[in-house]
């Protein structure tokens, strides 16, 4: 392959923070970014499960730092960035992946249940972007992980989750217009469709077979690497003229 073309997709010498990196899609982001050349800081509330992700990053010849972080706490977010700067001296990419979901009918959802989702999915993404935005240099990139449920429904009662992910798209646009001209930071979001992950393990087989599958124009679930590879492209020089956008990676679900 043409070396110049490879350079367009290389993250060599960069430092990436991935939240929600203890398993699933977060672990995939961490590994794929390491394979693209980036050192990776992995963060999640479940500190005991971060070690495996960090070792995977190191297995690809990159440096890794694992930090127990609750993104709903602004102080935790500031500390994560402080430790990253202490260890690596820079933050080039933020993957705002930490997220929670539950399926509760709207008439029975408690204020505490609703707020707990908003606190992680929306507020946590903002606190992390804020903390990183203060130290990021021109050319840096923030990628918010939204959801196809920000633009469509999927037959489950997920008001808090859908609202939080739709709000992330608005947050993406606003931060892009604030920080692009002033700081040279690009801000985009990915809206995944159905990917097998810890969050979706509770879905019943008949729901997957009868509700989700008929809506996928590509008749299969997504592979985590297909999502993380898209994130690498968004963070890399190849996407240097893209900001404020939401890229749907959903197998066509949003158009059915």
Residues with a known catalytic role: 161
Question: Are 138 and 183 a contacting pair, CB within 8 Å?
Answer: yes
């Amino acid at each position: 392959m043409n070396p110049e073309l490879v350079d367009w997709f290389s993250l060599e010498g960069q430092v990436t923070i991935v939240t929600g990196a203890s398993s699933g899609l977060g672990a995939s982001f961490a590994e794929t970014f390491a394979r693209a050349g980036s050192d990776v800081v992995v963060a999640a509330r479940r500190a005991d499960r971060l070690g495996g992700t960090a070792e995977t990053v190191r297995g690809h010849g990159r440096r890794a730092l694992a930090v127990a972080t609750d993104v709903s706490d602004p102080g935790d977010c500031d500390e994560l960035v402080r430790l990253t700067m202490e260890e690596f001296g820079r933050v080039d990419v933020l993957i705002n992946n930490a997220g929670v979901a539950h399926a509760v009918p709207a008439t029975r959802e408690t204020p505490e249940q609703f707020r707990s989702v908003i606190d992680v999915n929306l507020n946590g993404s903002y606190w992390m972007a804020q903390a990183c935005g203060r130290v990021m240099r021109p050319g840096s990139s923030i990628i918010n992980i939204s959801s196809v449920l920000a633009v469509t429904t999927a037959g489950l009662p997920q008001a808090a989750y859908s609202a939080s992910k739709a709000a992330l798209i608005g947050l993406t646009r606003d931060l892009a217009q604030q920080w692009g001209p002033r700081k040279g930071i690009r801000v985009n979001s990915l809206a995944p469709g159905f990917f097998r992950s810890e969050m979706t393990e509770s879905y019943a087989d008949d729901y997957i077979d009868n509700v989700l599958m008929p809506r996928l124009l590509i008749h299969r679930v997504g592979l985590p690497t297909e999502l993380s590879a898209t994130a690498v492209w968004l963070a890399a020089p190849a996407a240097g003229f893209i900001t404020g956008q939401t890229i749907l990676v959903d197998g066509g679900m949003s158009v059915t």
